[in-house]
Structure 1
Amino acid sequence: MASTMLDIDADLALRTPVVSASFRLTSERHVLDHLVREFQIEGGQCWQKGDAEEGTDVARRAYGWSVTLPPQRTYSVDTAISELLLRLAPERDTIVQLVRMMELDAHVCLEVKLAPGHLPVLHASPATIAAMAAYNAACSVELLEL
């Protein structure tokens, strides 16, 4: 009986959606390499216009900087967004100032890998929405099958 419960738990764990959350700043005019050094936020990286998008042959249309959290198994995207915004919080005022000053585009991006029939809750709390709005960030969600 205990073995059956472990099998069921393992099966449910494998069916739980995998959510990756990232925050991106992009610009068609400004190189953003310096943001990796300025912010020193764990998971920070940058790319150049024309670089291939990760895992594809598609060329990037803009310069960019991003912070990406490790993928996590969760049914709530709000949890992933909240953790991402907490990582950015120490630099929030500086990031918001740069977005305005350099006219950068801000994005909260979610990639959700899911087992068929196991959709996550695509819900964001008012506090999470307000926190994203402070960055004037757009939000996108990409759903993929596991």
Structure 2
Amino acid sequence: MDVSPPVVWAARPHPLPALAVAGVGPVALGLARRALAASDTQLARWSGVAGPGVLVLLGDTDSLPWAEGVVYLGRDAQAPSLLLPCTLAPDVAPALLERALVTRARGATPLAVLPRSGHLVPVGAARPISRQALEEWREGNRDAP
């Protein structure tokens, strides 16, 4: 689902604590590769959602994996139904952005907002990470743009 409101994003004066990490395209594949290198104990600490060319992992701030190009997402108290980039803030009131995006997503919440790629990812259906499912997703997305 695309993020369509014309919103300008600027540096957030105080970063949000990370609750999720996301990647799109090759970045998502790198994130999957990094997650697959984690121990089973570490995988058990995360939940996630994936779609064609996009991967979002949710977990404790200190446990989230890093891969080049990922975006870390956190919750702004003014828009609790959205997971927004930790280091970016919208130029509109977060509550207004939340209302517009939740309406567009037909009430599916929470929503991961990925402004650079234009993705809006419902993460309410996040499930515990299965190594096998993550490997299958990675294999099925190797040729994705």
Q: TM-score, normalised by structure 2?
A: 0.30
Report which of the two has the higher share of helix: 1
Q: TM-score, normalised by structure 1?
A: 0.30
Structure ID, larger Rg: 1
